Amino acid sequence: MKAGVFSSKNLVNYSQTISDYQTIIVCLEKHVPSFVHLDFSNLHLTLPQLEEIAAKIQNNNFIGNVSWGKMPNASSELVQKIESKIILNNHNYKNHPTDFVHGLFSLHAYMDSTENDIVEFAVEKENNEKVKTRNEQLKDWKVFKIFNKPEIGSITQ
């Protein structure tokens, strides 16, 4: 799943007197990227509150998980609406920006690179446009230094 749980317990920039429900609404309105988990486990939401959350989450692309607490009667349609949006968010979720860098390092760790080699992905027919876009973003990247310790040995015999 994405980043850690964000709740009023670890909220930094908002008033400490704000309720959990109010915190959730504020974070949904402000599209806080670190707010990825709706935690209703300790809340007893009313139907109007759940309606507001269901409406506000429709414009949010960060929420990726939910913990349900006690839900009001006749809330199953709203619960389904919230869960459908979360499923869509998870479906559309690609990766953290750092995943790209780690993947790039992993790719180049197994290449026979030398210092000042340009860092880029190989362009193939099926991924032509995507790779060209990525390589454009990497145009200033070069191999700075090679770390090679032959004294460590090889894992294969």
**Helices 47-57 & 20-30 angle (0-180, nearest 10):** 20
Model confidence at 10, in pLDDT bands (50, 70, 90)?
very low
Proportion of the chain above pLDDT 70, given as a percent: 76
Q: Residue 104's CB: how many other CB atoms inside 10 A?
A: 16
Domains and CATH numbers, the chain: 8-92 (3.80.10.10), 97-152 (no CATH)
- For residue 80, is pLDDT > 80? yes
Burial of 47-62, coded b for 16+ CB within 10 Å and e otherwise, reads: eebbebbbebbeebeb
pLDDT in tens, 21-77: 898 999 999 988 878 888 888 888 999 999 999 999 999 988 888 988 888 888 899
Q: From CA 82, how far away is CA 55, in angstroms rounded? A: 9
Query: What local confidence, expressed as pLDDT, does residue 78 receive?
Result: 95
Q: From CA 135, how far away is CA 124, in angstroms rounded? A: 13
DSSP designation for 104: H
- Statement: the pTM of the whole predicted model exceeds 0.75: no
Query: What local confidence, expressed as pLDDT, does residue 154 receive?
Result: 55
Which residue has better confidence, 138 or 95? 138
Query: What local confidence, expressed as pLDDT, does residue 87 receive?
Result: 92
Query: What local confidence, expressed as pLDDT, does residue 120 receive?
Result: 82
Question: Dihedral (C-alpha) 8, 10, 13, 18: value to the nearest 10 degrees?
Answer: 20
Q: Which whole number is the average pLDDT over 107-119?
A: 79
pLDDT in tens, 87-112: 998 888 766 556 667 777 777 777 77
